[in-house]
Amino acid sequence: MLSPHEVLEIALRVENEGADFYRDLAESTNNENQGPVFRFLSSQERSHAETFRSLLKRFEEEAVELVNWDDAGAYMEDLTKEAVFSDRLHDAMNSSDYDEAIALAIEVEKKSIAFYRSFVNNVKTETADALEKIIAEEEKHIELLEGLR
């Protein structure tokens, strides 16, 4: 089982990737309806990252005790990038296929929710509460994205 520190590190990476992805979409779209939504989603993901970053500070002592976290962290980053922010997503964005990018972004939000839900019952209450709040926000992101279709 992953420690709270590890869960938060992974979640932080997911949210930072999401913020960058939505920022890039906002900068590349010419659609006046999509740009504001993508900017909003980017700011939401940054806010989620801040939540995880502040929780991580509470687990700094634990991080010192983790064996080979740097190696595991690099592995988890690669796994997260492929599982959540796949090359398909970046390819769709780069080709300006916004319909596909939106569909894939919805998929990413769903994967993020599933990832966070998998940990809710296995972490400290404080972290579980943060995860639950972020899950609710990610569900709202899906609604926003579906509105762009």
What is the per-residue pLDDT across 98-120, written as a single tens digit (0 to 9) for each?
A: 787 788 889 888 988 988 898 88
pTM of this structure? 0.75
What pLDDT score does 8 carry? 82
CB 148 within 8 A of CB 33: yes
| Residue segments in the chain with a per-residue pLDDT below the cut of 50 | 67-69, 75
What pLDDT score does 67 carry? 47
d(CA 140, CA 147): 11
Q: 96 by DSSP, 3-state: which?
A: coil
What pLDDT score does 139 carry? 96
d(CA 102, CA 105): 5
What pLDDT score does 42 carry? 94
Q: Domains, the chain, ranges and CATH?
A: 4-147 (1.20.1260.10)
What pLDDT score does 85 carry? 61
Sorted by sequence, the CB contacts under 8 Å of residue 41 that are 6+ apart come out as 18, 22, 141, 144, 145
